[in-house]
Structure 1
């Protein structure tokens, strides 16, 4: 698994820019059912969206509610250190997962773990 983070020009992890994200390249098709997040010290992401690619060459899709609207997940609202688990309404099959912060407290800091298992997709 590889991960990359994109911060806007002239920003650090402690400032919010609309196009910040963190991405995990899983490498193989994986069934992903949810995400566990944590912040660091007092910096934390309090809301985020999840986008994913089924194949590296695919366009990004959003994780959505059952009604089809884009889902915004609650992250670390109370504190930065307690792991917060968010399960998707429906599991996704992905090779790349991207987390996009929507709101934060004190600054952007995000640690994450994806919940899922590798699968063979035809």
Structure 2
């Protein structure tokens, strides 16, 4: 059963230490749109099934990425999409959203997600990948 929208945003808001829910929602929308471009259809659909519907739709209709982005460029792309963001605040945004996604996805699905992403994404999800 997917997490409720309010519960998902509460986690993002708490982890991102946002003052207002709108900041958490903006970060979630941008990060999930970028993440969706990096996941294969089957894994993206499995993750979407665990997210609140409004965020599942964003994940399933991603921003188009010409190439897979390494973690640093993913953070820079996030900064470019969030008005007033810096590299540091975008890193905070990405971590707040992706750590919530990791908790929502569960261990098995997270393993599949990390296999599709470049080395270093495990840190953005708040997970250390075994070497």
Q: TM-score, normalised by structure 2?
A: 0.28
RCO higher in structure (CA 8 A, sep ≥6):
1
Give me the TM-score of the superposition, normalised by structure 1: 0.29
Q: Of Structure 1 and Structure 2, which has the larger fraction of its residues in strand? A: 1
Larger radius of gyration: 1
